[in-house]
Amino acid sequence: MTNISKAELAVAALRNGTVIDHIPSEVLFKAVKILGIEHVRSAVTIGNNLESKKLGHKGIIKVADVYFPEATLNRIALIAPSAVVNIIRDYEVVEKYPVTLPDTILGLVKCGNPKCITNNEPMRTRFHVVDREDVTISCHYCSHTVKSADAQIIQI
């Protein structure tokens, strides 16, 4: 029997699929929501509060047999700019890249201004990233500004 460390067991091998690693523990379940994982039919493994040299504690999401569009994965950057995507094929990591924050975020965040048109008309919200360092976003329609960590994610 080979010597498998506990850390390795926590992130057991995936044959094919997507692993999203280095998600801060506090936002792991927001990331799950952003990816729409509730609707995925294949095996999903979610690990949280795993030890991380980079983050102290981290969360990880593993989804078998699903390759998300890059635009979907990049939405995670809104709440977890440190997240890293691993594409797995036949147990090998064939691609690995950090998520990239898009300039515009469509239909993902609810505007915090109750008077905003997006809260009163059946329409998609639209936010622009105004500060990439601090990850701050601003509503296209009413200019309401919010730090992404405090942003309310719309149920997908």
- Specify binding-site residues: 111, 116, 139, 142
**How is the beta sheet containing 17-24 ordered, strand by strand?**
44-52, 56-64, 17-24, 84-89, 92-98
* Min dist. Cβ of residue 8 to Zn ion (A): 45
The least CB distance from residue 128 to Zn ion, in Å, is: 11
How many residues lie near Zn ion (CB under 5 A)?
7
Q: Which of residues 105-124 bind Zn ion (CB under 5 A)?
A: 111, 113, 116
User: CA-CA distance, 152 to 155, in Å (whole number)?
Assistant: 9
Residue 152 three-state SS = strand
* 154 near Zn ion, rule: CB under 5 A: no
The annotation places the binding site for Zn(2+) at 111, 116, 139, 142
Least distance from Zn ion to the Cβ atom of residue 137, Å: 10
**Should residue 128 be labelled a site residue for Zn ion when binding is judged by CB under 5 A?**
no
At position 105, the amino acid (one-letter code) is I
Each residue 63-102 as x (binds Zn ion by CB under 5 A) or -, in order, gives: ----------------------------------------
Structure tokens at 73: 């994965």
DSSP string, 17-78: EEEEEEEEGGGHHHHHHHHTGGG--S-EEEEEEEEETTTEEEEEEEEET----HHHHHGGGG
Q: How far is the CB of 136 from Zn ion (least distance, A)?
A: 14
List interacting residues with Zn ion (CB under 5 A).
Answer: 111, 113, 116, 139, 141-142, 144
